[in-house]
Amino acid sequence: MRLFIDKLSKAYGFLWAVRDLSVEVDSGDLIALLGPNGAGKTTLLKLLAGLITPTTGSIRFEGTSRTARLSRPRTGLLMPADHLYDNLTVRENLRFFLSLYGQPSALRMIDAALNEVALLERGAQFVGNLSSGMRCRLSIAKWKLLQPDVLLLDEPYGVLDGSGIDLLEAFLRHQAENGGIVVMASHHVSRALKLCSRALILKQGRLTFNEAKQQPWTSFDRAFGEFLPHGERWSS
Amino acid sequence: MELIKQTLLLLWKDLLLELRRRDSLLTMFFFGTLLLFVFHFSFDLPPDRVAEMAPALLWLAFLFTGTLGLTQLFQVERENHCFEALLLSPLDRGALFLAKSCFTLLLMFLVEAIVMPLFWILFNLQGWNLLPQLFLVTLLGTVGFCVLGTIMSAITLRARARELLLPLVLFPLMIPVILATIRCMENIMSAGELGAAWSWLRLLLGFDVIFVTVGILMFDRVIES
Amino acid sequence: MALISIAIGLYWGLVIAPPDAYQGEVQRIMYLHLPSILAAYLSYFLVFIGSCMYLWKRERRDDILAHSAAEIGVLFTALTIIEGSIWGRPTWGVWWTWDARLTLTAILLLIYTGYLMLRSLIENEDRAASAAAVLGVIGFLDIPLIHMSVYWWRTLHQPPSILQPNKAPWENIAWPLLIPLLINIAAFLLLLFYLLSLRYRLGEMRDQIRMRRLEQSP
């Protein structure tokens, strides 16, 4: 599976959120999507997910066209605290989404997944009562069960604790190793770069950097240095 | 088939959520009852006139109550952006339409099942044996309302002044349903059976069938953004 | 363009010229009344076509067509109602009556005013276009049903005497009256297309300005 993004642009009113973006992505790629606030990362993720339509340009998966809704790879979007029903329990949420995607929703499977993300004891709690870190774990469990071909993440590091981060990274590595595509927008530069196989930098909607990871990554230092907090340096 | 399965799944989810918070159902029920009281005070009808006005008053009450339910219809999906989650999935948009329409229909059914007998009691009406027939006709009219209302609720989701816009676009389109249902009910109440009103009933059925079909076919266009 | 002015000129001439009318001068209103409602119906049909095409192909021009046709349709409908009112006053003694035709016309006005309001209340242009297109299709599909229900309602309950004036126009119409009527219909249709092309052009220009501003943004 290959993903072709060709001159992709999206405008809201008179402002371009994403401008003239062209990238090719292969299966197995784990992409770190970096950039300052308001650079268009979330917009790009939503465009890739098919939730919004581009103003110009196209997104194509090899052989299949995105505009034909039926023939697109299963795409997951992990927004840490979103896409869960507050007034359903943890188990009910998983059961609902599994059924929605046409997958068997046996209790064993759900509980096994909850166990992996250390949420088993909270299986009967309402999602509205969970902290954002726990909700993120639940989202991870959800996408682990749904096994998407393309997984998009929007700032997952912010809410997770240490073990949560380990969980997440193991999951993402597993996805990439099994032929999936992962695109993760993050401000947590050092961890994102450790994990990724390729980095993209978005600045004011335009792609200013697109390279596969290398050691040492001096070109990245030059490209990204200006976005780090004052006095900080990242290290691979 | 797939469409039915997905519809039932979404319906299960909506009913479960409604059961837990009971936002819509209780508000609708109380609003409907409140309207009955307001009508009683506003109209002050002599007992013999009430039977004539009953169908119209009931339908007015149901229309306004139903509109209340419709404005709340997609609210549960807007929390936590769950709407996006639904769009992301391989969900047939027609199933979303059917599920939301059925959900509204169920709420309306419950409200009507209580408000109608209540109306009979409050306004001292006779002819209790006619209630089942009347209820059936009301239900058919409600189907038309829910179907068209779901579509209108969806297209006005992101509009300003949504609570005003929804009735504004919905009510003119509802005129065939309003006329047909009230005429049928009047006939039942005066003659004890549909009789001459059969053609109205057919109109009502036609309306329901047409717009359920249109809804299923067009709903993906309705919620594209 | 020249054709339009000729058409308008023609109908002016005929308004001054037509022969007797059994209801007196006021009958002349029919020369305007009928063509304007026909123009309105045609406009709404165009809204329907534009909306269907837009939902299918998502081309800007279909949306502009639908929007323009809706505005002009509302214009002609309002005109029809005012003319109907002017006719009604001397004829029946009232400014308004709930007879089938007037009621239907009023409902049409409500539906398409709702359409225009929907468009103006949605911020995002594309979303407004989609929403309006759906309403455009559904509204038009509902019109035959509304027709049937309103006509049945009025014919089953009203005594025929009140209904006669409504039936007058196309049944038993005398030949000398028919010709100016047809010419006026043609004239109104030409007027419709003229206004439509103006409004369409306006819509296109608006789109172009938007595109240009967008391109020039950083």
CB < 8 Å to B86, chain A: 100
Chains contacting C (3 or more CB pairs within 8 Å): A, B
Q: Is residue C17 less than 8 Å (CB to CB) from chain A?
A: no
Q: Is residue A170 less than 8 Å (CB to CB) from chain C?
A: no
Chains contacting B (3 or more CB pairs within 8 Å): A, C
CA distance A229 to chain B (A): 31
Which secondary-structure segment (H or E) carries A200? strand A198-203
- The reported pLDDT for the residue numbered C161 is 35
- The reported pLDDT for the residue numbered C162 is 34
Pairing type for strands A64-65 and A56-61 reads: antiparallel
Compare CB distances from A14 to C124, C126, C214 and report the shortest one's residue.
C214
pLDDT exceeds cutoff 80 at A62: no
Q: What is the pLDDT of residues A19-39, one digit of tens each?
A: 899 999 988 899 999 988 888
pLDDT exceeds cutoff 60 at C77: yes
Is C214 within 8 Å of A204 when comparing Cβ atoms?
no
Pairing type for strands A30-34 and A181-185 reads: parallel
Neighbours of C57 (CB within 10 A): 9
Compare CB distances from A14 to C124, C126, C213 and report the shortest one's residue.
C213
- The reported pLDDT for the residue numbered C5 is 59
Q: What is the pLDDT of residues B179-210, one digit of tens each?
A: 999 988 888 888 776 677 788 888 899 999 99
B199-219 b/e with 16+ CB inside 10 Å = b? ebbebbebbbebbbebbbebb
In angstroms, rounded to a whole number, what is the distance separating the alpha carbons of residues B138 and C90?
42
pLDDT exceeds cutoff 50 at B24: yes
Q: What is the mean pLDDT of residues A55-70?
A: 64
Q: What is the pTM of this model?
A: 0.88
A139: nearest Cα among B14, B19, B88: B88
Give the pLDDT band (50/70/90) at residue A99: very high
Is B13 within 8 Å of A84 when comparing Cβ atoms?
no
- The reported pLDDT for the residue numbered A80 is 79
Q: Is residue A143 less than 8 Å (CB to CB) from chain B?
A: no
Q: What is the dihedral of CA C138, C139, C144, C145, to 10 degrees?
A: 80
Which secondary-structure segment (H or E) carries A209? strand A206-212
pLDDT exceeds cutoff 60 at A113: yes
Give the pLDDT band (50/70/90) at residue C51: very high
Residue B133 has, within 13 A of its CA and on its CB side, a CA count of 20
Compare CB distances from A52 to B17, B20, B225 and report the shortest one's residue.
B225
DSSP state of A64: E
User: Could you give the C-alpha distances from A28 to A72, A157, A168, C209, in angstroms and in order?
Assistant: 17, 21, 16, 44
Residue A235 maps to a domain = no
Cis peptide, bond prior to residue C218, ω within 30 of zero: no
- The reported pLDDT for the residue numbered B209 is 94
Q: What is the mean pLDDT of residues A177-195?
A: 88
CB < 8 Å to C110, chain B: 171-172
pLDDT exceeds cutoff 60 at B63: yes
Is C217 within 8 Å of A204 when comparing Cβ atoms?
no
CB < 8 Å to C53, chain B: none
Q: Which two tokens stand for residue A116?
A: 């992996």
Residue A236 maps to a domain = no
Q: How many CB pairs under 8 A join B and C?
A: 92
Is C117 within 8 Å of B176 when comparing Cβ atoms?
no
B159: nearest Cα among B68, B71, B221: B71
Is A88 within 8 Å of B17 when comparing Cβ atoms?
yes
pLDDT exceeds cutoff 60 at C172: no
Q: Which of B97, B155, B168, B205 to mutate to test the interface with C (most CBs of C within 10 A)?
A: B155
Residue A75's DSSP bridge partners are A150
At A232, is the secondary structure helix, strand, or coil? coil
Q: What is the pLDDT of residues A165-176, one digit of tens each?
A: 999 999 999 999
**Edge-to-edge, what's the strand order for the sheet holding A150-154?**
A75-78, A150-154, A181-185, A30-34, A198-203, A206-212
Residue A156 maps to a domain = yes
Residue A232 maps to a domain = no
Q: Is residue B88 less than 8 Å (CB to CB) from chain A?
A: yes
Exposed/middle/buried for residue C209 (C-beta within 10 Å: 0-12, 13-18, 19+)? exposed
Q: What are phi and psi of B47, to 5 degrees?
A: -55, -35
E strand map for C75-202:
none
- The reported pLDDT for the residue numbered C22 is 44
CB < 8 Å to C152, chain B: 179, 199-200, 203
Give the pLDDT band (50/70/90) at residue C160: very low
Give the pLDDT band (50/70/90) at residue C217: confident
Q: What are phi and psi of A63, to 5 degrees?
A: 85, -35
- Closest residue in A to C124 (Cα) is A13
Decide which of B201 and C1 is more confident: B201
Number of domains in chain A: 1
Is A86 within 8 Å of B80 when comparing Cβ atoms?
yes
Residue A46 maps to a domain = yes
ipTM of the complex: 0.89
CATH number at A195 reads: 3.40.50.300
Residue-range definition of the domain harbouring residue B124: 2-222
Q: What is the pLDDT of residues C193-206, one digit of tens each?
A: 888 888 999 999 99
For chain A, how are helix, strand and coil distributed in percent, rounded to 5?
A: 35, 30, 35
Residue-range definition of the domain harbouring residue A92: 2-227
DSSP B114-178: HHHHHHHHHTT---GGGHHHHHHHHHHHHHHHHHHHHHHHHHTTTBTTHHHHHHHHHHHHHHHHH
- The reported pLDDT for the residue numbered C168 is 46
- Residue given tokens 């109602």 in the structure block: C81
B145 in Cβ contact with B208 (< 8 Å):
no
Give the pLDDT band (50/70/90) at residue A182: very high
- The reported pLDDT for the residue numbered A147 is 87
Decide which of C141 and B49 is more confident: C141
Q: What is the mean pLDDT of residues A131-143?
A: 92
B50 in Cβ contact with B125 (< 8 Å):
yes
Contacts of B223 (CB under 8 A, 6+ apart): B87, B93, B96, B154
Q: What is the pLDDT of residues B89-146, one digit of tens each?
A: 988 899 999 999 999 999 999 999 999 999 888 888 887 888 888 898 999 999 999 9
Q: Is residue C57 less than 8 Å (CB to CB) from chain A?
A: no
User: What share of chain B has pLDDT > 90, as a percent?
Assistant: 47
Is A53 within 8 Å of B80 when comparing Cβ atoms?
no
Number of domains in chain B: 1
Q: Is residue A85 less than 8 Å (CB to CB) from chain B?
A: yes
Q: Is residue B173 less than 8 Å (CB to CB) from chain C?
A: yes
In angstroms, rounded to a whole number, what is the distance separating the alpha carbons of residues B195 and B193?
6
Which secondary-structure segment (H or E) carries C150? helix C125-157
**Edge-to-edge, what's the strand order for the sheet holding A64-65?**
A15-26, A2-12, A56-61, A64-65
Q: What is the pLDDT of residues A84-97, one digit of tens each?
A: 999 999 999 999 99
pLDDT exceeds cutoff 80 at A189: yes
Q: What is the pLDDT of residues C89-109, one digit of tens each?
A: 776 677 777 777 888 899 999
pLDDT exceeds cutoff 80 at C158: no
**DSSP count for chain B of H helices, then E strands:** 9, 0
Compare CB distances from A204 to C126, C213, C218 and report the shortest one's residue.
C218
Compare CB distances from B203 to C127, C137, C149 and report the shortest one's residue.
C149
CB < 8 Å to A16, chain C: 214, 217-218
- The reported pLDDT for the residue numbered A229 is 72
